[in-house]
Structure 1
Amino acid sequence: MGRWLKDQKERKKQEIRTHNAQLHAAVSVAGVAAAVAALAASNASPDMSAAHPKMPSKISTTIASAAALVASHCIEIAEEMGADHNHISTTVNSAINARTNGDIMTLTAGAATALRAAATLRARLQKGYGAATFAQADEMGEEGKEPNILTSMNFVSKGGELLKRTRKGALHWKRVSFNINSNWQVVAKMKSKHMAGTFTKTKKCIVSWVYNDTPAWPGREREDASEHMAYFGIKTVDRVIEFECRSKGDKHMWTEGIQHMLNRRANIT
């Protein structure tokens, strides 16, 4: 278990490094979007300096409006990911002063480099620390039981795609995984993707129970693949979160793995 905790500590360092790289990439992209929006707005402004003032075309005004919307969304994503407000403001204010092709190309190249670095670190994290190694404990008494336990625990530690239902009934795909932290708490990590997978937003919560008898969601039974769907839930501090699995076999692996983690916590504490 000590070796597993050491692996978890190293994984935490890698996660922090990856997250910081993603923050830098998000702020860099927000800067590029702000520069493009500022340039588009400048081109859409009336030219009153000439002898005959020239009014902007409808297409230039539309592009300026669209660029401003994209820039605003990029800034919002960076803030939601945890980027420092002053850092974002400094980057954006510097970017909107870009006027030449060279300025825009420099900003774009910097953002592209930041995105590649974040993607490399994310891939390295998933490849090198995709599954936790758990020590053997009290289940050793029955032959063949321990490998099955480790398989299910490694399955939920690595995680996968699950359909999550919000409080209002909306459905969203999440990348979900479960692990045990240094305080022996079972933690669920849910990741959602933004901007076609360019950025990810992560939410964590402490799990105290798993429900394997969650009923089917209303309306889902009418779909063609309804007979293959299965549902389970987890109890957190403030609510019960429900998920939809693609099959009963997947549900069994999820609920078994989470339950074994909860059992380990109970045995230790």
Structure 2
Amino acid sequence: MQLCRTSVTPKPQAYRGGSKTVGRWLKDRREKKKEESRAQNAQLHAAVSVAAVAAAVAAIAAATAATTSGSGKDDRAARTDMAVASAATLVAAHCVEAAESMGAEREHLASVVGSAVNVRTPGDIVTLTAAAATALRGAATLKARALKEVWNIAAVIPVEKGGMGGHHDHRHHKQHKELDSNGSSFSDELVQDEENFLGLCSQELLARGTELLKRTRKGALHWKIVSVYINRMGLVMLKMKSRHVAGTITKKKKSVVTEVCKDIQAWAGRHLLEGGEQRRYFGLRTAERRVIEFECRSQREYEMWTQGVSRLLNIAGERKHLA
């Protein structure tokens, strides 16, 4: 008896739209803000805890230096203790200033530091150190979780009628018809979904911004908080923020992006630094016809910026064409 093997053709499935409802989008945004608030509070608590440890160490070092200098037995040891006490005081002052610049209340910070400088026993120092270490680990965990959510949840603006979503809905409807006529293209749909998802994640990262090294036309290097997004006018905007030493934002500049320049030559001397061979460079041409150059730490970061900005330019071009 001869058996005939029948091939099973997968049935075409309905296309899953990539847009979110307004309610779902608002809920995701609220959850994201809560996570960001938790991460910020954890970082603030960690900064205060580290400042307390630094203040306690500075107080003990100062007391030790005073005892050594008062005994008059070893002048060299006394000078060493005084130098250590001075260095510890400098570190403690910097930690307190950093915690205050992050938003710590001065009264609370003064209370914590005042309690820390009164510790004397080794057990108290161990307790303060353990608390600071726990706070640092918690802050790092929340920060990593917030960054992971950016990749796992594409928090995009919900699609509205007549806007950019109309173009996507039309394209999705067209793809749905193609699926109905050809069930074998289901795997292509999955690939398209994955590409759209990664594209949305990339757009979210570019809009949130990150710190990049920028080179001026005179060759000076400056760290900038760089973000790229599409504004309400449908233009791709480059926003650069400068940070003060204390961490406060002091300067902001916006430019219209017209082109991504991927063939930027490596900056002179940068290959001599640690990890210099991994660094990549790209430029963004603005409406003023100037090219702003940036340095990326890795190939992955380079691809995220060049491909992400190119995708934004394509989206803006399609939206302008449909208008």
- Name the TM-score, length of structure 1 as normaliser: 0.69
Which structure: larger Rg? 2
Aligned residue in 2 for 1:139: 167
Report how far residue 208 of structure 1 moved. 7.1
Report how far residue 230 of structure 1 moved. 0.9
1:155 and 1:14 mapped to 2: Cα distance? 20
Report how far residue 66 of structure 1 moved. 1.8
Closer, same or farther: CA 14–249 of 1 in aligned 2, 3 Å: closer
Closer, same or farther: CA 189–117 of 1 in aligned 2, 3 Å: farther
Aligned residue in 1 for 2:129: 108
Report how far residue 46 of structure 1 moved. 5.0
Aligned residue in 2 for 1:66: 87
Render the CA deviation track for 1:209-256: whole Å, top value 9, x for unaligned: 435357998982565669952123789xxxx98633456744432313
Matched, 1:244 2:295: yes
Aligned residue in 2 for 1:198: none
Give aligned-pair identity as a percent: 36
2:34 and 2:295 mapped to 1: Cα distance? 31
- Name the TM-score, length of structure 2 as normaliser: 0.59
Report how far residue 17 of structure 1 moved. 1.0
Aligned residue in 2 for 1:88: 109
8 Å CA contact retained: 2:264, 2:281: no
8 Å CA contact retained: 2:213, 2:222: yes
Report how far residue 24 of structure 1 moved. 0.5
Q: After superposition, where does 1:30-179 map in structure 2 within 5 Å?
A: 30-46=51-67, 55=75, 57-130=78-151, 131-134=153-156, 135=158, 137-140=165-168, 141-142=170-171, 148=195, 150-158=197-205, 163-165=212-214, 169-172=220-223
Render the CA deviation track for 1:48-76: whole Å, top value 9, x for unaligned: 766x6765523212211221122122112
Closer, same or farther: CA 133–87 of 1 in aligned 2, 3 Å: same
2:132 and 2:279 mapped to 1: Cα distance? 45
SS of corresponding position for 1:7: helix
Per mean C-alpha deviation after superposition, the further-off stretch among 99-108 and 11-20 is 99-108
SS of corresponding position for 2:49: helix
SS of corresponding position for 2:120: coil
Report how far residue 112 of structure 1 moved. 1.5
Report how far residue 173 of structure 1 moved. 8.0
8 Å CA contact retained: 2:44, 2:99: yes
Q: 2:34 aligns with which of 13, 38, 62?
A: 13
Render the CA deviation track for 1:143-182: whole Å, top value 9, x for unaligned: 58887555333113246865232889334486x66689xx
1:8 and 1:172 mapped to 2: Cα distance? 29
1:21 and 1:264 mapped to 2: Cα distance? 42
Q: How many residues matched?
A: 251
Kindly provide the amino acid, as one letter, of the partner of residue 201 in structure 2.
N
2:39 and 2:318 mapped to 1: Cα distance? 29
Return 5+ residue gaps in structure 1 as ranges. Answer: 181-185, 195-200
Return 5+ residue gaps in structure 2 as ranges. Answer: 1-19, 160-164, 176-188, 231-236, 272-276
Aligned residue in 2 for 1:255: 309
Aligned residue in 2 for 1:231: 283
Closer, same or farther: CA 187–232 of 1 in aligned 2, 3 Å: closer
8 Å CA contact retained: 2:62, 2:82: yes
RMSD: 4.7
SS of corresponding position for 2:119: coil
8 Å CA contact retained: 1:165, 1:243: yes
Closer, same or farther: CA 127–97 of 1 in aligned 2, 3 Å: same
Closer, same or farther: CA 57–49 of 1 in aligned 2, 3 Å: closer
Kindly provide the amino acid, as one letter, of the partner of residue 55 in structure 2.
A
